[in-house]
Amino acid sequence: MSVAGEQRSADPDEVSLAAARAGDRRALDDLLRRHQPRLWAVCRRLTGSDSDADDAAQNALIAIVRALPSFDGRSRFGTWAYRIAVNASLDELRRRRRRADPGLPGDADLSGPGAGPEPIATTVGPESAALTVDVDAALRRLPPDFRAAVVLRDLCGLDYAEIAEILGVPTGTVRSRISRGRSALAPLLSAGNSEDARRRPTSRP
Amino acid sequence: MTSLEPPLPVPDADSLDAAASALVDGVATPEEAALVAASPGGAARLAALRAVSEAVGGPGLEQDPSAAASALAAALAGFDPAAFDPAAVDAIERRNPSSSAVGEAQGPEGPAPGEPSVPDLSSDREIPGPSDPTSGEDVGSGPVLTAREGLGTVRALVPRRGSSSSARWLPRLGAVAAALVLLVGIAVLVVDLLGRADDTGRSPAGDVAVGPTSAAPAGPGGTTAQTAMAGGKVLELPPVIDGGAFGNETAVEAIALRAAAALDNPPAPAAAEIKPLDDVQRCVEAGPNTVDEEVRAPLYQAEGTFQGIPAVAVAYEREGDPSRLLLVLALNDCSLLERSPF
């Protein structure tokens, strides 16, 4: 067998998929468990709230299982699953818009201290200093097209071609959305860091 | 795509930011790397965009374990091994020989996952089936509708897994022969029906298991007659109005308004033309499977971009008030993007 063939044979997703297709429920369970955390994280970043992410991720998992018999293997399972998760998240955003609940994080004001969801502890900067920045609040200000591209790249580590496949746009568009999305986020996250730094007690008098 | 939050003005493409972003992703060209290196603020910009990337991809995102467990259980509850089509599994395993860990003897090695795969044996494309919101392929274990490029549609039997080559093709030949007989019969019935049709042009579509595959798309603004079998008779369904392109919309209501206008003032019927199955029609067929409620005949279809996603908008008849349902489906996999009764 070729090296490429060996590499493909070692792909745990392929093995799990084949077993699941043969009726192995445990294999499907393994497959979903392997991807569930990252799928939820994508939903979390796109929807901006834990509860919406829970709903979106569950809908995505259900859709994955339901559509698995028709998965044709032309894309990686992970890419296909991400696409479903992105669509589920966007559906959830639309439902949230219809609900128009003022208590939901969509109404958060970036500049208001304490507004919006709980900040997420995130490591930022070359010094790896633990700074608390409200990434969610910043992402929510980004148009969803741009948000999805940035999240799929920076959270999931997908390459431009995979993101293009998921979002149904050319790779050039993905590159542009990521670049412009990051450019838009930079001042927001930078301001968040500054604000956070001002609020944090200093160690020196 | 929409959200509640106020839109952030996204800056126009900036060559320095584009180059710095490409550097962050490791895909910068030598020219872009040189641009960042030569620009006075290049290093700072690179650091800023890298910080954004790290912030978005940073740790801290963990689902509540009980919510994760319940989501997994809900998903697994829908697992139905019988739903897997052996022929589709065969095809996938031929493309991905690695799945031989569980499968049977494999064919020649196909492209790696993620690469475009070469259609195998024929150029058959499966038509979307029930419970398939994402890929538009039939999930049933029975006969599969297949569309041979450029030759219209035929109904073929699915070869069973592990069957020999002749065993695979004999049922197909039989099915093709049966389909030809069926088509001749349908043609006779259509001629007979047209001779007796009244001037209303509408039939009780609500009693019909809608088969929109028989709808032949017309040009933008045109309509296309469609037929369906019901109780052994060929019934004439409301013509599908092809709304052409709906441009780049972000609100489903705008598309619904456009559909309503077209349906309330239908254009003159265009001459039906035989057109191979395309992505739009695939989604027209898949649409009813993406929603819980039962819909009837498709009435209107249009193509465009919805919230940045290439999409198909299809209006169907439905029970209740309002009497129409607009579905906006992703063109690439016919998954549901938005719905709006109108």
ipTM of the complex in this document: 0.75
> Does the beta-carbon distance from A94 to B2 stay under 8 Å?
yes
Nearest to B48 among A8, A57, A190 (CB): A190
Nearest to A142 among B8, B76, B309 (CB): B8
What residues of chain B lie within 8 A of the CB of A64, using their CB?
Answer: 75
Distance from C-alpha of B321 to C-alpha of B302, rounded to nearest angstrom: 23
Task: Provide CATH code, domain A108-205.
Answer: 1.10.10.10
Structure letter (DSSP) for residue A115: -
> Does the beta-carbon distance from B53 to A154 stay under 8 Å?
yes
- Single-letter amino acid, residue A103: G
For A20-24, A74-78, A118-122, A192-196, which range has the lowest pLDDT when averaged over its residues?
A118-122
Complete edge-to-edge strand list for the sheet that includes strand B233-249: B223-230, B233-249, B295-306, B309-318, B324-330, B336-341
Count the Cβ atoms, other than its own, within 10 Å of residue A161: 13
Distance from C-alpha of B234 to C-alpha of B225, rounded to nearest angstrom: 12
> Does the beta-carbon distance from B71 to A57 stay under 8 Å?
yes
What's the pLDDT tens digit per position in A134-174? Answer: 788 888 888 888 999 999 999 988 999 999 989 999 999 99
The 3-state DSSP class for residue A101 equals coil
Note which residues in 109-148 of chain B have CB less than 8 A from chain A: 109, 112-117, 126, 129, 131-139
Distance from C-alpha of B338 to C-alpha of B289, rounded to nearest angstrom: 14
**3-state secondary structure string across chain B:** CCCCCCCCCCCCCCHHHHHHHHHHHCCCCHHHHHHHHHCCCHHHHHHHHHHHHHHHCCCCCCCCHHHHHHHHHHHHCCCCHHHCCHHHHHHHHHHCHHHHHCCCCCCCCCCCCCCCCCCCCCCCEECCCCCCCCCCCCCCCCCEEEECCCCCEEEECCCCCCCCHHHHHHHHHHHHHHHHHHHHHHHHHHHHHHHHCCCCCCCCHHHCCCCHHHCCCCCCCCEEEEEEEECCEEEEEEEEEEEEEEEEECCHHHHHHHHHHHHHCCCCCCCCCCCCCCHHHHHHHHHHHHCCCCEEEEEEEEEEEECCEEEEEEEEEECCCCCEEEEEEECCCCCEEEEEEC
Distance from C-alpha of A96 to C-alpha of A106, rounded to nearest angstrom: 8
Which tops the pLDDT comparison, A13 or B212?
A13
Note which residues in 34-63 of chain B have CB less than 8 A from chain A: 47-63
Q: Does the structure show a pLDDT above 50 at A29?
A: yes
Q: How confident is the model at residue A181 (pLDDT cuts 50, 70, 90)?
A: very high
Long-range Cβ pairs for the range A29-33 (8 Å, 24+): A29/B72, A29/B76, A31/A77, A32/A61, A32/A64, A32/A65, A32/B72, A32/B75, A32/B76, A33/B72
Contact B291, B305 (CB under 8 A): no
For A101-105, A129-133, B40-44, B153-157, which range has the lowest pLDDT when averaged over its residues?
B153-157
**Which residues on neighbouring strands pair with residue B317, listed in sequence order?**
B324
What's the pLDDT tens digit per position in B246-284? Answer: 777 777 777 888 887 777 776 655 443 333 346 777 888
Q: Among residues of chain B, what percentage have pLDDT more than 90?
A: 13
> Does the beta-carbon distance from A66 to B131 stay under 8 Å?
yes
Burial B246-275 (b: 16+ CB within 10 A, else e): beebbebeebbebbbebbeebeeebebeee
Q: How close does chain B come to A18, measured CA to CA in Å?
A: 5
Domain ranges of chain A: 1-106, 108-205
> Does the beta-carbon distance from A180 to B13 stay under 8 Å?
yes
User: Please, how many CA atoms are within 13 Å of residue B202, restricted to the half-sphere of its CB?
Assistant: 9
User: Please, how many CA atoms are within 13 Å of residue B296, restricted to the half-sphere of its CB?
Assistant: 18
CA distances A180 to B8, B25, B40, B119, B198, Å, are: 11, 14, 20, 38, 59
Number of A/B CB contacts below 8 angstroms equals 319
Q: Say how many residues make up chain B.
A: 342
Nearest to A97 among B2, B75, B103 (CB): B2
Q: Identify the CATH assignment for A1-106 out of 1.20.1630.10, 1.10.1740.10, 3.90.550.10, 3.40.50.620.
A: 1.10.1740.10
What's the pLDDT tens digit per position in B77-127? Answer: 888 877 776 665 555 555 555 443 333 333 333 333 333 322 222 223 332
Q: How close does chain B come to A202, measured CA to CA in Å?
A: 23
Mutate to test the interface with A, among B3, B32, B331 (most CBs of A within 10 A): B3
- Residue B118's pLDDT is 24
For A62-66, A82-86, A131-135, B286-290, which range has the lowest pLDDT when averaged over its residues?
A131-135
Tell me how far apart the terminal alpha carbons of chain B are, to the nearest angstrom. Answer: 20
Q: How confident is the model at residue B201 (pLDDT cuts 50, 70, 90)?
A: very low
CA distances A98 to A91, A92, B1, B304, B336, Å, are: 11, 10, 13, 23, 17
Contact A52, A117 (CB under 8 A): no
- Single-letter amino acid, residue A140: R
Q: Which residues contact B38 (CB under 8 A, 6 or more apart)?
A: none
Structure letter (DSSP) for residue A72: -
Q: How confident is the model at residue B68 (pLDDT cuts 50, 70, 90)?
A: very high
Q: Rank A66-70, A157-161, B217-221, B299-303 by mean pLDDT and report only the highest.
A: A157-161
What residues of chain B lie within 8 A of the CB of A160, using their CB?
Answer: 25, 27
Mutate to test the interface with A, among B99, B146, B255 (most CBs of A within 10 A): B99
- Residue B272's pLDDT is 39
Q: Find the radius of gyration of the CA atoms of chain B.
A: 25
- Single-letter amino acid, residue B222: G
Q: Given CB atoms, is A19 within the 8 Å cutoff of chain B? A: yes
Q: Does the structure show a pLDDT above 90 at B23?
A: yes
What's the pLDDT tens digit per position in B293-341? Answer: 788 888 888 888 877 778 889 998 888 788 888 998 888 788 888 888 8
